[in-house]
Amino acid sequence: MVSPSDNQEQTLTLGLGFSSISSAKTKNPISGPGTKSCDHEPSLTLSLSGETYQTTTAVAAIERKVFVDQEPPCSVSVASSLSNVVSVKRERESASSDDLELERGSSRISDEEEDGCGPTNTPRKKLRLTKDQSALLEESFKQQSTLNPKQKQALADRLNLRPRQVEVWFQNRRARTKLKQTEVDCEYLKKCCETLTDENRRLQKELQELKTLKLGQPFYMHLPAATLTMCPSCERIGAGVPTIPGTPTTNSTPASKTHFTLGP
């Protein structure tokens, strides 16, 4: 297995940190092993993708294809090169249950491969789902954003599609949902940012005004006389207090030198 640090991929992830995002990601108890339980935080990902190649993955992909192709004339060479793998797979196939059949149906294979020969002969043609198909898929997605193999197969039968197509549609649909949610969250954060910026600006302005005011007048000058108490130690409010409010003197530092307390 090649770790991400081994290849040239460099990924910069800006996480939004919204735990509520991707709420559609629910662990399906029926789907069994392979279902991830981790919650993917929403993130804006900027990635600089280098070339990555993973031998084990490639072999695994071939294995999957061989596993799925039942008697494919065009996969014989691959199968012969992986005879050990195939024999194991065949063993499992021979003892296959309904579930295994469904799993095979939901395995990752391209349309071309599923139809028989590999992608070398026919370039992939993009299928356009009909309105009815899309509607039914949407309806299913509303009920459940993930499908177990049986549900997938059932839906595929209803739609006259391959299970793989249903699987891909659900994957893309989940991606679209997440993208939309991210956009919504982004807008929300923008608004929050604007609000906080305005608030910050307002407070800065207020602070500046207060500072100006403080320089012009001692603080206690703005307070009612009843709220002031003479400091018992110095017995005065402060030294160098200007007689005329609003006319500061250089040596007037009432706030720092004056000992007074605010009354009740």
The footprint of DNA (CB under 7 A) covers 1-4, 7, 11, 22, 24-25, 28, 31-38, 40, 43, 45, 47, 49, 52-54, 56-58, 60-61, 63-64, 67, 85, 88-89, 103, 106-108, 110-112, 119, 123-129, 134, 146-149, 164-165, 167-169, 171-176, 178
- Nearest 10 degrees: CA dihedral of 178, 182, 188, 194? 180
Residues 211 and 222: beta-carbon distance below 8 Å: no
Query: Least distance to DNA from the beta carbon of 207, Å?
Result: 42
Query: Least distance to DNA from the beta carbon of 223, Å?
Result: 58
Given the complex with DNA, which of 38 and 225 has the nearer CB atom?
38
Query: Least distance to DNA from the beta carbon of 203, Å?
Result: 37
Given the complex with DNA, which of 128 and 142 has the nearer CB atom?
128
Query: Least distance to DNA from the beta carbon of 181, Å?
Result: 11
Query: Least distance to DNA from the beta carbon of 144, Å?
Result: 10
Number of neighbours of residue 60 by Cβ within 10 angstroms: 13
Given the complex with DNA, which of 127 and 215 has the nearer CB atom?
127
Give the phi and the psi of residue 157 in degrees, each rounded to 5.
Answer: -65, -45
Query: Least distance to DNA from the beta carbon of 13, Å?
Result: 7
Given the complex with DNA, which of 128 and 262 has the nearer CB atom?
128
Given the complex with DNA, which of 12 and 210 has the nearer CB atom?
12
Residues 69 and 75: beta-carbon distance below 8 Å: yes
Given the complex with DNA, which of 26 and 200 has the nearer CB atom?
26
Query: Least distance to DNA from the beta carbon of 132, Å?
Result: 13
Given the complex with DNA, which of 142 and 264 has the nearer CB atom?
142
Q: Strands 10-15, 43-48: parallel, antiparallel or unpaired by DSSP?
A: antiparallel
| The one-letter amino acid at 199 | E
